[in-house]
């Protein structure tokens, strides 16, 4: 029996990275076009003409979620939460706008939305992978929790040696 730990396959990490970056780029470009090319006003008019309720508010929300969410996916920041928001947006779009338009994207059907929903659901299930910005934040959090646990205080309380808390 071999006592060495099993070698890890680096390819899945790269696959998740490519998926995250591709999906993030699609959402970023869609949000950017709404923001810069069309503007919030024209986006709201378009949404209103398609029967979307409170189109001004929805235009701001969709533009922000797509633009900022796209960037977050690309760098791997809060990937699961961002992907969940994007799935919610795409499901709402499918129900409010795309129902009855057909399947193919060229006919304004559900094809692109379905692909993006599936990709975001995959990111929710797999997580962002190891090649992410979240790693920096998690490492700092782990170090802070480890330091707290090392001096006997509960993790996350902020109390312990050097915290300045004398209570």
Has residue 54 been placed in a domain? yes
Q: What is the pLDDT of residue 21?
A: 96
Query: Side-chain half-sphere of 75: how many Cα atoms within 13 Å?
Result: 13
Nearest CA-CA partner of 82 in 40, 31, 42:
31
Has residue 6 been placed in a domain? no
Query: Tens digits of per-residue pLDDT, 138-157?
Result: 666 555 655 555 555 555 55
Has residue 149 been placed in a domain? no
Q: Which domain holds residue 26?
A: 13-131
Has residue 98 been placed in a domain? yes
Q: What is the pLDDT of residue 26?
A: 98
Has residue 95 been placed in a domain? yes
Has residue 118 been placed in a domain? yes
Alpha carbon 82 to its chain's center:
3
Has residue 59 been placed in a domain? yes
Show the beta-strand stretches assigned E in the chain: none
Tell me the C-alpha distance between 95 and 28, whole Å. 22
Domain count, the chain: 1
Question: Mean pLDDT in runs of 10 for the chain (167 residues)?
Answer: 68 93 98 96 96 96 98 96 97 88 85 95 94 72 57 51 42
Residue 61 burial (C-beta neighbours within 10 Å; 0-12, 13-18, 19+):
middle
Q: Confirm whether pTM is higher than 0.95.
A: no
Has residue 31 been placed in a domain? yes
Positive or negative: CA dihedral 27, 54, 50, 36 = negative
Q: What is the pLDDT of residue 164?
A: 43
């Amino acid at each position: 029996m071999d006592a060495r730990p099993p070698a890890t396959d680096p390819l899945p990490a790269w696959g998740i990275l490519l998926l995250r970056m591709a999906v993030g780029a699609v959402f970023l470009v869609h949000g950017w076009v709404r923001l810069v090319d069309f503007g919030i006003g024209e986006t709201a008019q378009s949404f209103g003409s398609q029967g979307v309720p409170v189109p001004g508010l929805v235009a701001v929300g969709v533009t922000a979620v797509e633009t900022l969410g796209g960037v977050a996916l690309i760098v791997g920041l809060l990937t699961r939460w961002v992907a969940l928001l994007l799935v919610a947006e795409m499901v709402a779009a499918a129900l409010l706008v795309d129902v009855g338009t057909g399947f193919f994207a060229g006919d304004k059907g559900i094809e692109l939305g379905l692909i993006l929903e599936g990709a975001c659901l995959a990111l929710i299930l797999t997580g962002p992978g190891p090649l992410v910005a979240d790693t920096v934040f998690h490492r700092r959090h782990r170090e802070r929790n480890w330091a707290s646990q090392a001096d006997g205080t509960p993790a996350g309380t902020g109390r312990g040696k050097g915290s300045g808390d004398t209570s």
